[in-house]
Structure 1
């Protein structure tokens, strides 16, 4: 076939590397826009809980999308164009920020979820397939190359959290849309500053922010929760729409079609779709290990939703200012990106359980601090420290539980990862959907309970695996001793015969 001659061309390794780099860069540009917008939803679009309901709609439709759409869309369009079209499905979410109402935001959020399933499946398929011809050209095993390609891709993807929040915070911190102060007003404020008149009492942010925040209450008594000017939101939406359009063009022009590297193999998502995948996913729940993993998977989704909706609004936005949300979330993204490879390296040295215990302790300390802390604007360093701890713990949970899902169910990885996506998204949906109705204190207690139940389930799996390995080790030693005894028994008559 013509694809074969192209695959083994002299510059094909460079071409495959270019495809991966362009794909990773396109995802970075695209999710720069998405993360930068999503992190502001609960704070900027707080009327009637529109922002929280929009995020819930995204993850609810993502559950349906992962079950029903990936194989069908990729079969119709191929991986390259499935990525490009899925990028376009995210754009109404950004466009809805020009007119942010509940009836515009929620349908746009549903579009994001429906695009998300085919998008991530197409990306995984593309990286896995191009590793095969690269392995033939380089002599490196395809398994090693898949890990390398995914690592390179996620290096770009994790940077999206940084750039998206940096752009949004830079625009929100500017003077766009704010009326300039009149000279007389400025001079009068300076006179008041140097006068002997007693200053106005300082606002007690801790009384209404942080753990005491209830989004159902309209009167929070501080200006930090006032939405930014409409012009700032429109500028942010315009910049992010341009980013998404650029990402579509990057994939359309800079990425080769996967048919170049398939040479007759099926390019669709390597697995079942629709109700067959749902059936396999639910059938997997008969496995005791899968049931024990569900609470910790649900906790991962719930804690990520709490970070995106409650921490940004009740802690950062309420006490530190909406314009500073992005800067604090940059810190979260940096530590999240750094902790994932470091935790992976530590697992090789210490084993998985000590690393998971460390993540548990970090989360317990973090949630305890949030329950007792009364946030104030001058405590800016605490916001960044909490975000850094959260990013570190989240990376450990996400990477290690994902890896554990593959390790525990060899041959059934598809069903295991489908369950992971399903229950993680379910945890996120429940957290986002209840955000407008439950106060932060109640939600934190729920998270603590979720964390404890989840870690007990995970620890039970480790204990059961330890018992199985110990029993297997003893059985193996017993077999070796038996074989040794039998060999000695066979040799003895021979020696006796010689003496006789």
Structure 2
């Protein structure tokens, strides 16, 4: 189990909580502007032989493994060192896409996957420790501090989507595009956008307008540069988190095994099990954006040039909702906001089932992308807030567990995208949304009951102390 002394904030964060969160956010903006921009284009630019989708499946398969072992490595290497290692992998991944063939992109994807768990577990620990430190020094409710600091970070995470996707569209619009003629059969195939799109439809069949290779190389070089800037900012400006590292090799091994066991133990707790469907729903909802919406609902009817602008709009609304919805949750109760978000996700899936995008419905598509951003940003921030609230003294194991389940969701959805049509997977996400709604309601009931029991115990303890003082008198 995560040691209390290793999870509580140290003196090095006191008074610097906001500064640390802002620095961390800027670093993630620089690094993930490239990664998110590439990710949203993989299913289109690298559609040949399914290269883009396969590379993403490798990334998130590695994410599963690294998330499980993340607490172990963080305890030995420290959270900052793990972030540095992870950002090096993102530089390599962006560089591999300059010449994107299987023998370059797959090793880089593996490297990113095996370090992604370290990145996101370390990020969760940084934010949680800053929130705990701020709550203790400023004497504010801890759940409010969790919502505030996670909201700040995920508001910052909207900017990688803005920057990365805007760069994609601006640079790709400067390139030359392959224009092909269509015959009667091609015209029939062009209509197979939206929910009717299936993996068997190739780029030629869907008549995507693809940019010339030189333009793509220029875009990837820009992304490499952005990732390098983020790496340097992390090395020189991010303060380290104090951790306890055993001096002996035997002690280090024991500490790593203990950390891995803590991740397993957290996964056996009823509250986390009830949160798993929501974590899976979040990963399915997010990955559906850059696997299917970017391809079936944007590139197919409107062309690849529109992908970046659309994803940037989604990122803008995601960032706004990551601040607004947690603030709203503090006012009217978290359970109502999260429940409404899940209902919104289910409703959006129904809309995607019945709506067929055509090139004269650009505003409809932009409206849906904006809605996706609102639901995505708020849901992600509140899920992390719930995890911080449930496990303030087990941040490494808790965030590693949630990261593992999210990675599992990403991987499953990416693999399914390689075999199943969009419509089939929309039905599956609809069912997952319904399950998430039920389990989340049960989770909130359990948390409320636990809070009431704790309050009763505290009241009884106070009354017994008063009785003892009266008897002494």
Tell me the TM-score normalised to structure 2 length.
0.80
Name which of 351, 354, 361 aligns with 1:372: 354
What is the aligned partner in structure 2 of residue 216 from structure 1?
200
Aligned pair count reads 442
1:286 to 2:268 alignment = yes
1:266 to 2:266 alignment = no
Shift of 1:148: 6.0
What is the aligned partner in structure 2 of residue 427 from structure 1?
409
In the alignment, the residues of structure 2 paired with residue 145 and residue 357 of structure 1 have an alpha-carbon distance, to the nearest angstrom, of 21
Provide Cα deviations, 1:76-118, integer angstroms capped at 9, x if missing partner. Answer: 4x55554333221112211221222233222211111223233
Instruction: For residue 39 of structure 1, give the secondary structure of its aligned residue in structure 2.
Output: helix
Instruction: For residue 358 of structure 2, give the secondary structure of its aligned residue in structure 1.
Output: coil
**Residues 150 and 267 of structure 1, relative CA distance in 2, 3 Å threshold:** farther
Matches within 5 A, 1:401-416: 401-409=383-391, 411-416=393-398
CA contact 1:59–1:425 (8 Å) conserved in 2: yes
**Residues 463 and 81 of structure 1, relative CA distance in 2, 3 Å threshold:** closer
Name which of 207, 210, 217 aligns with 2:191: 207
**Residues 104 and 48 of structure 1, relative CA distance in 2, 3 Å threshold:** same
**Residues 34 and 273 of structure 1, relative CA distance in 2, 3 Å threshold:** farther
CA contact 1:205–1:319 (8 Å) conserved in 2: no
Matches within 5 A, 1:352-367: 352-367=334-349
CA contact 2:20–2:238 (8 Å) conserved in 1: yes
CA contact 2:72–2:258 (8 Å) conserved in 1: no
CA contact 2:147–2:385 (8 Å) conserved in 1: no
CA contact 1:25–1:156 (8 Å) conserved in 2: yes
In the alignment, the residues of structure 1 paired with residue 71 and residue 448 of structure 2 have an alpha-carbon distance, to the nearest angstrom, of 37
**RMSD (Å), alpha carbons:** 4.0
In the alignment, the residues of structure 2 paired with residue 462 and residue 81 of structure 1 have an alpha-carbon distance, to the nearest angstrom, of 36
Shift of 1:344: 1.2
CA contact 2:165–2:309 (8 Å) conserved in 1: yes
In the alignment, the residues of structure 2 paired with residue 135 and residue 462 of structure 1 have an alpha-carbon distance, to the nearest angstrom, of 23
**Residues 74 and 167 of structure 1, relative CA distance in 2, 3 Å threshold:** farther
**Residues 208 and 114 of structure 1, relative CA distance in 2, 3 Å threshold:** same
Matches within 5 A, 1:184-203: 203=187
Matches within 5 A, 1:34-433: 34-69=35-70, 71-72=72-73, 75-76=76-77, 79-124=79-124, 140=138, 151-174=151-174, 176-177=175-176, 203=187, 207-218=191-202, 221-223=205-207, 225-252=208-235, 254-255=236-237, 258=240, 266=244, 274-409=256-391, 411-433=393-415
Shift of 1:314: 1.1
Instruction: For residue 436 of structure 1, give the secondary structure of its aligned residue in structure 2.
Output: helix
Matches within 5 A, 1:406-485: 406-409=388-391, 411-465=393-447
In the alignment, the residues of structure 1 paired with residue 74 and residue 271 of structure 2 have an alpha-carbon distance, to the nearest angstrom, of 32
**Residues 17 and 202 of structure 1, relative CA distance in 2, 3 Å threshold:** same
Q: Greater CA radius of gyration, 1 or 2?
A: 1
Shift of 1:441: 0.6
In the alignment, the residues of structure 1 paired with residue 30 and residue 160 of structure 2 have an alpha-carbon distance, to the nearest angstrom, of 7
**Residues 26 and 420 of structure 1, relative CA distance in 2, 3 Å threshold:** closer
CA contact 2:29–2:160 (8 Å) conserved in 1: yes
In the alignment, the residues of structure 1 paired with residue 262 and residue 352 of structure 2 have an alpha-carbon distance, to the nearest angstrom, of 40
In the alignment, the residues of structure 2 paired with residue 468 and residue 446 of structure 1 have an alpha-carbon distance, to the nearest angstrom, of 33
CA contact 1:90–1:115 (8 Å) conserved in 2: no
CA contact 1:293–1:458 (8 Å) conserved in 2: yes
Shift of 1:279: 2.9
What is the aligned partner in structure 2 of residue 190 from structure 1?
none
Shift of 1:36: 0.9
What is the aligned partner in structure 2 of residue 188 from structure 1?
none
**Residues 39 and 275 of structure 1, relative CA distance in 2, 3 Å threshold:** farther
Instruction: For residue 330 of structure 1, give the secondary structure of its aligned residue in structure 2.
Output: helix
In the alignment, the residues of structure 2 paired with residue 146 and residue 476 of structure 1 have an alpha-carbon distance, to the nearest angstrom, of 23
Instruction: For residue 65 of structure 2, give the secondary structure of its aligned residue in structure 1.
Output: helix
CA contact 2:186–2:205 (8 Å) conserved in 1: no
**Residues 248 and 399 of structure 1, relative CA distance in 2, 3 Å threshold:** closer
**Residues 383 and 130 of structure 1, relative CA distance in 2, 3 Å threshold:** closer
What is the aligned partner in structure 1 of residue 8 from structure 2?
none
Shift of 1:468: 6.4
In the alignment, the residues of structure 2 paired with residue 286 and residue 219 of structure 1 have an alpha-carbon distance, to the nearest angstrom, of 44
Shift of 1:30: 1.3
Matches within 5 A, 1:11-30: 21-30=22-31
Unaligned runs of 5+ in 2: 1-10, 247-253, 468-473
**Residues 433 and 103 of structure 1, relative CA distance in 2, 3 Å threshold:** farther
In the alignment, the residues of structure 2 paired with residue 59 and residue 70 of structure 1 have an alpha-carbon distance, to the nearest angstrom, of 18
In the alignment, the residues of structure 1 paired with residue 115 and residue 238 of structure 2 have an alpha-carbon distance, to the nearest angstrom, of 21
Tell me the TM-score normalised to structure 1 length.
0.76
What is the aligned partner in structure 2 of residue 497 from structure 1?
none
CA contact 2:63–2:113 (8 Å) conserved in 1: yes
**Residues 288 and 233 of structure 1, relative CA distance in 2, 3 Å threshold:** same
Shift of 1:464: 4.5
In the alignment, the residues of structure 2 paired with residue 147 and residue 396 of structure 1 have an alpha-carbon distance, to the nearest angstrom, of 11
What is the aligned partner in structure 1 of residue 5 from structure 2?
none
CA contact 1:69–1:273 (8 Å) conserved in 2: no
